[in-house]
């Protein structure tokens, strides 16, 4: 897989492709495919709820300000999603404290919101801080840096509070800190693709893939709504169709090939069909599925660049 190297704080992380043996790449690809299937088989009803575009943008801006590798940003999003689902489940099933019956009746949503609204920004930051510690090639956010950064955002917290928040997230995740990361899927697929097609300008393609993946992450709802409408041939899909479609929104192998397909179309459209065929061969995902994903994403990119106006 691509090797990351330390860079000065003001520069992006440098990567070197085409250095891993193909046998190792094959093992990585098989492992990613297995983890992707396991993840899809264990999805909860709340999957994707904490990948709201505003939250993702907040995390991306935070990682940029802290000069972290983009990989840490995507990792933080995954940690937040998994922690919040478990944390909310625990809160909703916890017994009411003594004297709660005397309080005015409130909905469960209101009660949970009250419990979370004060500490939610710190929970988000703890996920970013943990992600930075898992990125061995990137500098770690120590508690001194964390306190200063949070203070600049208007949050006055102590180092002890930071530690307690981090421990809460760790325990909530049962110390399982290695969820699937969409950027990792893109990188491994690019490595395999470059091995099969050595003439590919991999570094340029990878650079463009970063922007495409970021775009999809920041326009997740609109893109998947369009893809669902395309897949079901309906402008008003049923609740059952939406529920089944969650396996598409959380499929990182499909996301990886979709990102590369979009970037390939933008970079060199003439060879796009061959690239889609190669990606289909590598992953077993149908050409139709990859093409639909790419077409919908490109449609939103074009609309974002040239907003449609009524006449």
Residue 270 DSSP code: G
* 289, 191: one domain: yes
Q: Cα 4 vs. chain centroid, distance in angstroms? A: 19
Output the pLDDT for position 305.
56
**Is residue 106 very low, low, confident or very high in pLDDT (cuts 50, 70, 90)?**
low
**Mean pLDDT score across all residues of the chain:** 83
Give the other-Cβ count within 10 Å of 38's Cβ: 10
How confident is the model over 219-244, as a mean pLDDT? Answer: 88
Domain count, the chain: 2
Residue 283 has pLDDT above 90, yes or no: yes
User: Does residue 166 sit in the same domain as residue 222?
Assistant: no
- Rounded-to-integer distance, Cα 214 and Cα 242, Å: 24
Alpha-carbon distance of 13 to 79, in angstroms, equals 22
Predicted confidence band at 300 (pLDDT cuts at 50, 70, 90)?
Answer: very high
Instruction: State whether 65 and 158 are in the same domain.
Output: yes
pLDDT of 99 reads 52
Q: Are residues 221 and 163 in the same domain?
A: no
The model's confidence at residue 187, banded by pLDDT at 50, 70 and 90, is: very high
The C-alpha atoms of residue 53 and residue 286 are separated, in whole angstroms, by 28
Residues 53, 59: Cα–Cα separation, whole Å: 10
**Which pLDDT value is given to residue 7?**
37
Domain check: are 141 and 207 in the same one? Answer: no
Give 2's pLDDT tier (boundaries 50, 70, 90).
low
Q: Per the domain annotation, does 37 fall within a domain? A: no
pLDDT at 112: 66
141: pLDDT strictly greater than 70 = yes
Name residue, tokens 């499909």. Answer: 254
Q: Output the DSSP codes for 125-164.
A: HHHHHHHHHH-TTS----HHHHHHHHHHTT----HHHHHH
Same domain, 61 and 163: yes
With a cut of 70, say whether residue 303 has pLDDT above it.
Answer: yes
pLDDT at residue 138 in the model: 59
User: Which one is predicted more confidently, 97 or 190?
Assistant: 190
Burial of residue 79 (CB within 10 Å: 0-12, 13-18, 19+) is: buried
Dihedral, CA atoms, 90, 95, 98, 101, nearest 10 degrees?
A: 110
- Residue at 282 is within a domain: yes
**For residues 68 and 43, which has the higher predicted lDDT (pLDDT)?**
68
Are residue 56 and residue 78 in the same domain, yes or no? Answer: yes
Please say if the pLDDT value at position 107 is more than 70: no
Select from 172, 202, 223 the last residue of a domain: 172
Structural domain containing residue 277: 182-305
199, 271: one domain: yes
Token digits of residue 25: 């790449």
> Does some domain include residue 162?
yes
Q: What is the pLDDT of residue 74?
A: 95
Q: Which of 294, 261, 292, 255 is nearest to 279 (CA)?
A: 261
What percent of the chain is modeled with pLDDT above 90? 46
pLDDT higher at 154 or 82 = 82
Find the mean pLDDT for residues 249-256: 95
The strand pairing partners of 16, in sequence order, are: 3
Domain for residue 158, yes or no?
yes
Residue 237 has pLDDT above 90, yes or no: no
Residues 90 and 85: their CA atoms lie apart, in Å, by: 9
Claim to verify: residue 133 and residue 209 sit in the same structural domain: no
Q: Output phi, psi for 108, to 5 deg.
A: -60, -40
The answer to whether 45 touches 249, Cβ cutoff 8 Å, is no
The pLDDT of residue 151 is 87
Q: Where are the beta strands (DSSP E) in the chain?
A: 3-5, 14-16
Task: Tell me whether residue 11 is in a domain.
Answer: no
- Reference 34, options 303, 260, 288, 253; nearest CA is 253
pTM of the entire structure? Answer: 0.85
pLDDT level of residue 307 (50, 70, 90 thresholds): very low
């Amino acid at each position: 897989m691509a090797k990351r190297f330390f860079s000065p704080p003001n520069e992006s992380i440098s990567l070197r492709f085409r250095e891993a043996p193909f046998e190792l790449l094959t093992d990585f690809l098989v492992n990613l495919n297995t983890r992707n299937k396991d993840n899809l088989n264990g999805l909860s009803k709340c999957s994707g709820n904490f990948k709201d575009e505003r939250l993702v943008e907040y995390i991306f801006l935070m990682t940029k300000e802290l000069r972290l590798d983009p990989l840490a940003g995507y990792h933080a999003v995954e940690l937040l999603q998994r922690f919040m689902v478990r944390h909310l489940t625990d809160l909703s099933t916890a017994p009411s404290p003594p004297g709660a019956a005397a309080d005015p009746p409130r909905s469960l949503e209101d009660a949970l919101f009250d419990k979370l609204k004060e500490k939610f920004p710190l929970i988000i930051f703890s996920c970013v801080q943990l992600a930075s510690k898992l990125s061995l090639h990137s500098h770690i956010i120590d508690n001194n840096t964390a306190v200063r950064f949070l203070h600049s955002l208007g949050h006055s917290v102590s180092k002890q509070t930071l530690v307690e928040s981090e421990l809460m997230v760790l325990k909530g995740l049962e110390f399982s800190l290695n969820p699937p990361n969409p950027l990792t899927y893109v990188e491994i697929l690019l490595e395999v693709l470059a091995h099969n097609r050595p003439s590919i300008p991999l570094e340029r393609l990878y650079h463009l893939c970063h922007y495409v993946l970021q775009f999809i992450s920041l326009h997740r709802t609109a893109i998947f709504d369009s893809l669902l409408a395309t897949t079901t041939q309906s402008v008003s899909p049923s609740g059952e169709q939406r529920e089944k479609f969650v396996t598409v929104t959380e499929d990182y192998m499909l996301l990886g090939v979709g990102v590369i397909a979009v970037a390939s179309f933008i970079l060199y459209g003439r060879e796009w069909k061959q690239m889609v065929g190669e990606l289909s061969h590598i992953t077993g995902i149908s050409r139709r599925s990859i093409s639909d994903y790419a077409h919908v994403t490109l449609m939103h990119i074009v609309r974002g660049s040239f907003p449609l106006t009524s006449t």
